[in-house]
Amino acid sequence: MAVRGAVPEVIWARPERTGRGPRPAYTRDDIAAAAVRIADAQGLDAVSMRHVAAELGCGTMSLYNYVPRKEDLYELMVDAAGAEHELWEPGGDWRADMRRVARQTRELMRRHPWLPRLMSPVYGFSPHALRYLEHCLACLDPLEAAYGTKLELIAMLNGMVTTYVRNELDTAERVRALPWSEDEENAVRMAYLGGRIASGGYPRMAAAFMEDAGPIDLEAVFERAVERVIDAFAPR
């Protein structure tokens, strides 16, 4: 489609091909895949129109035939990642199914560390996001609750998983832009934090750090959090 002017539009409502004119050299999936490849390898900030175009092997401005704004490129990326969600036949135990949903989402985000940063309710209605949402609702069929409650459960679980993975990956992703290593960054921050705690102004934090001397078990923390969210919605 042409529509060169600035017009409110959802990328999913725009047809990929209109029949008139030369056939496009790439599909939307090609473009999303190229952007995802770059983001996976070099981080989200490396996803520029120029880079994606170069990865595809076309001129920068040709991209704008497929994607009216960079924002829409992000939307394609999120949907492409959502396509990796594996859906299964719900087994009747909604708690088990939700656990599986949470774990799978976490794995997806660890595979694509840029995903948490792009998560937005605005992108929540892309084709694959809709499939995913419908699947979650199907998993929740055995739960006796209003759809409103079920949607709140899904939102809370998804939000928790996103926040969790983001925190887990944040330093690693952030440090890409920095001229020093993640270890150096952590070391210098820990040294500062140690100094603050030693100042005596934060007795409870000091006690907390005394208590948990060893490295924290991320898996266990995640599993506990999932269980807590699920419990919060279980009847009784």
Residues that bind a second copy (CB under 8 A): 6-10, 12-13, 69, 71, 120-122, 125, 130, 133-134, 137-138, 141, 146-148, 150-152, 155-156, 159-160, 162-164, 167, 170-171, 174, 177-180, 184-185, 187-189, 191-193, 195-196, 201-205, 207-208, 211-212, 216, 221, 224-225, 228-229, 231-233
> What six digits make up the tokens of 53?
């175009």
Residue (of 145, 32, 132, 51) closest to 94 by Cα position: 145
CA angle 121, 123, 125 (to 5 degrees): 90
- One of 40, 51, 95, 225 touching DNA (CB under 7 A): 51
Give me the residue label for tokens 């990328």. Answer: 11
Helix axes 218-233, 147-174, angle to 10 degrees: 160
State the binding partner of 24 from a second copy, DNA, none, CB within 5 to 8 A by kind.
DNA
44: DSSP letter: G
Select the binding partner of residue 234 from a second copy, DNA, none (C-beta < 5 to 8 A, by kind). none
- Separation between Cα atoms, residue 36 and residue 76, nearest integer Å: 9
Of the candidate spans 2-10, 91-99, 115-123, 141-149, the one that interacts with DNA by CB under 7 A turns out to be 2-10
Contacted entry of a second copy, DNA, none for residue 50, CB cut-off 5 to 8 Å set by kind:
DNA
Tell me the C-alpha to C-alpha distance, in Å, between residue 61 and each of 28, 31, 46, 86, 108. Answer: 15, 13, 17, 35, 31
Return residues touching DNA (CB under 7 A). Answer: 1-2, 4-6, 17-26, 46-51, 58-62, 64-66, 69-71, 179
